[in-house]
Amino acid sequence: MSNTNTYLDQVVRQQERLEADLRSKRSAAPPASAPPPPQSSGGGGAGRARGGGGSGQPTPNAVEVRVTGFGRWKTVLVPPNAFVVHTRRGRAEPLHVGLGVSFRYNPATDSYLVVPGAMQTILINAYCICRELQGVLVQAYVQWIIQDFATAYRRLDFGDAEDPMRLVNLQLKEQAEAAIKDKVSTLGVADVLSDKQPIIEELTARLRGVAEGAGNADQGLGLRIVTVQIKEAVVSSSRLWENLQKPYRSEQGRIARLAELAAEEAVAERELTAGRQRETQRIESERELADLRARNAALEFDREAAEALRRSQREQADARALADLQDATNRHALALERELAAEEAEIGRLRIERETELTRLTAEAELALAAARARGAHEQALLELERARVRAGLDNEQTAEALQAKLIDRLPAIVEKLPKPAELRAVNIGGNDGTTVAGLVAELTAVVGALRRAGG
């Protein structure tokens, strides 16, 4: 087994890294013979400045102070979060004391000191010896601020140009380590590791007594302790640390082993129970499957038998329905034939009646037409006779010369309407000059009749 305490080394490294992070980077310290820089030019900062000194290099951890003007007419501009005290030669009291006070500055007669007003944090690593004479590392931190700068600048040294708070922090750190060691020496290892409140109370009382004067401001340093905390307490001896942990680890190992055995026993019993349940379920499942297959086979057989019976009944019903349908069709066809014959007989009767009626109507119409024609012919004959009588009267009233003149005028038209004769026959009309009109008409009629016979 290695004698090194890995946890202790790790805690120390973490503490170093944290301290490096909390503290600002520092530049190289100036030689001991060189005076501290009195001021900075162009915006540089200095923790302390005195008259007659030259301008020094700006330091990273100093307060950022700006000095403007030239010669005797300069002005010091102090940040609002920094304390300043301004003194002048020949005066017992300072001209300006306060937080963020800017003032006019004469390098020949004046001097000033600027200190950060922000809260400061001190990291403490106290290597202590407890009541059992065992090494214990106690890590703590203390946070403080300046409460009364008029008292603090007289009783504390803020003269470090790079870090005005460095000496004050070192002094408080030493006092805190001494207080922690005194308190740890009265406690046992188990008390230190389990309850850190007594150490915190003792350290707070010691530091407040020094920094704040324990209720009397004239005896204090003008500081105020903000908080005191214990971060870690580690046994330096790795073997002792292992021995301290062994009872708890052994007890926890016993509990864990018993829990494992109980768990294994429960798991084994549960596995057996689960195996029996699985086997029982398998047997029941096989039996249920066999019953289900038998029921399915019976159902299948019943279904097939029922289907065959249904098909047979359906075929018989279809055959009966087809026979009934054919019989009904035949009866309907006979009825239709009888109805068709009756309709044809009725149609024949109606046709005969219509034909008889049509014949009767036709005969009546023909008789009526014949009678009408007869009446018309009779009336026409009567009209012709009347006309003939009138013409005869007229002709009788006309002279022979007039009749001959009319006949002569109509002869060309009569000749044009006559057909061309196939043969020429000569007819002598009138043998004497004393022919009458009636004789002339008779002769013309005879000529026309001869011409028609010739054309026919």
pLDDT tens-digit profile of 328-340? 888 888 888 888 8
Are 80 and 130 in a shared domain?
no
* CA nearest to 171, candidates 184, 152, 156: 156
For range 145-172, the mean pLDDT: 82
How confident is the model over 15-67, as pLDDT tens digits? 676 566 555 444 433 333 333 343 333 333 334 443 333 333 434 446 788 88
Are 130 and 100 in a shared domain?
no
93/110 Cα distance (integer angstroms): 12
Are 67 and 168 in a shared domain?
no
**Is 439 within the bounds of a domain?**
yes
**Is 279 within the bounds of a domain?**
no
To which residue do tokens 């005290």 refer? 85
What is the domain-level CATH number for residue 154? 3.30.479.30
- In Å, what is the CA distance from 437 to each residue of 77, 380, 413, 440? 180, 26, 20, 5
**Is 363 within the bounds of a domain?**
no
Which is it for the CA torsion 13, 17, 23, 25, positive or negative?
Answer: positive
**Is 81 within the bounds of a domain?**
yes
**Is 276 within the bounds of a domain?**
no
Are 175 and 77 in a shared domain?
no
Residues spanned by the domain of 422: 412-455
Structure tokens, 63:
């307060």
Are 161 and 86 in a shared domain?
no
Structure tokens, 208:
């407040």
Are 140 and 107 in a shared domain?
no
Put the strands of the sheet holding 223-235 in their side by side order. 120-129, 135-146, 223-235
Element (H, E) at 289: helix 238-397
The contacts of residue 309 (CB under 8 Å, 6+ apart) are none
Structure tokens, 424:
């020429």
Are 78 and 175 in a shared domain?
no
Which is it for the CA torsion 29, 34, 38, 44, positive or negative?
Answer: negative
Q: Is the pLDDT of residue 392 over 60?
A: yes
Residue after which a domain boundary falls, among 101, 118, 135: 118
Are 203 and 113 in a shared domain?
no
**Is 190 within the bounds of a domain?**
yes
Residue after which a domain boundary falls, among 94, 118, 142: 118
Are 128 and 114 in a shared domain?
no
Are 128 and 230 in a shared domain?
yes
Query: In the prediction, which pLDDT does 214 show?
Result: 64
Are 129 and 176 in a shared domain?
yes
The contacts of residue 29 (CB under 8 Å, 6+ apart) are 162
Are 3 and 150 in a shared domain?
yes
Residue after which a domain boundary falls, among 211, 236, 261: 236
How confident is the model over 314-369, as pLDDT tens digits? 899 889 888 888 888 888 888 888 888 888 888 888 888 888 888 888 888 888 88
Structure tokens, 283:
């047997």
To which residue do tokens 């504390």 refer? 156
Q: Is the pLDDT of residue 408 over 80?
A: no
Q: Is the pLDDT of residue 436 over 70?
A: no
The total domain count for the chain is 3
**Is 31 within the bounds of a domain?**
no
Neighbours of 206 (CB within 10 A): 20
**Is 404 within the bounds of a domain?**
no
Distance in angstroms between the alpha carbons of the first and the last residue of the chain: 173
Query: In the prediction, which pLDDT does 29 show?
Result: 38
